[in-house]
């Protein structure tokens, strides 16, 4: 299963490192990544493959949300299909 991981917060060193380390720890592979500064906020969007992860998506989402809080960013993990449903015919 693929998921969209969005990371938004005040820019500071280490956001990518801390996020990707946690994804690696959970067995999640990053397939695509883009990052920009939007209205002063660090905004990173990752496409992740969860097929190597043993935990269900809902649990992964809450683990990463808590992880993000520990260094001041919002991390959200959402099923990729919902974005496809909304934006693709």
Partner 1 sequence: MLSNREILETLAMVDDQHLDVRTITMGISLFDCVSESAERAAGKIYDKVTRTAERLVPVAEEIAEEIGIPIVNKRVAVTPVSLIGAPCGDFVRLCRALDRAAETVGIDFIGGYTALVQKGMTPFESAFLDSVPEALASTAKVCASVNVASTRAGINMDAVARVGRLVKEMAERTRDRDGLACAKFVAFANAVEDNPFMAGAFCGTGEGDAVINVGVSGPGVVKCALEKVKGQDLTAVAETVKKTAFKITRVGQWVAKEAAERLHAQFGIVDLSLAPTPVMGDSVAHILEEMGLSSVGAHGTTACLALLNDAVKKGGVMASSHVGGLSGAFIPVSEDIGMIRACEAGFLSLDKLEAMTSVCSVGLDMIAVPGDTPAEVLSGILADEAAIGVVNNKTTAVRLIPAPGKKVGDWVEFGGLLGRAPVIAVNAADPSAFIRRGGRIPAPIHSNKN
- In the region spanning residues 54 to 83, those forming contacts with partner 1, defined by CB under 8 A, are 56-58, 61-62, 76-83
Please check whether residue 48 is in contact with residue 28, taking contact to mean a CB–CB distance below 8 angstroms.
yes
The number of residues that bind partner 1 (CB under 8 A) is 28
Q: How many CA atoms lie within 13 A of 83 on its CB side?
A: 11
Lay out the site mask for partner 1 across 10-49 (x = CB under 8 A, - = otherwise). ----------------------x-x-x-x----x-x-x--
Task: Give min distance, CB of 44 to partner 1, in A.
Answer: 9
| Segments of 11-68 assigned E as strands | 29-38, 41-49
C-alpha distances out from residue 70 to 8, 30, 40, 56, 89, Å: 13, 21, 20, 22, 38
By CB under 8 A, name the binding residues for partner 1. Answer: 4, 6, 8, 32, 34, 36, 38, 43, 45, 47, 56-58, 61-62, 76-88
């Amino acid at each position: 299963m693929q998921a969209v991981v969005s990371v938004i917060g005040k820019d500071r060193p280490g956001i990518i490192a801390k996020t990707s380390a946690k994804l690696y720890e959970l067995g999640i592979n990053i397939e695509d990544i883009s990052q920009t500064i939007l209205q002063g906020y660090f905004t990173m969007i990752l496409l992740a493959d969860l097929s190597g992860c043993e935990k269900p998506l809902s649990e992964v989402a809450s683990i990463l949300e808590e992880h993000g809080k520990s260094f001041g960013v919002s991390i959200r993990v959402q099923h990729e299909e919902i974005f496809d449903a909304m934006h693709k015919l």
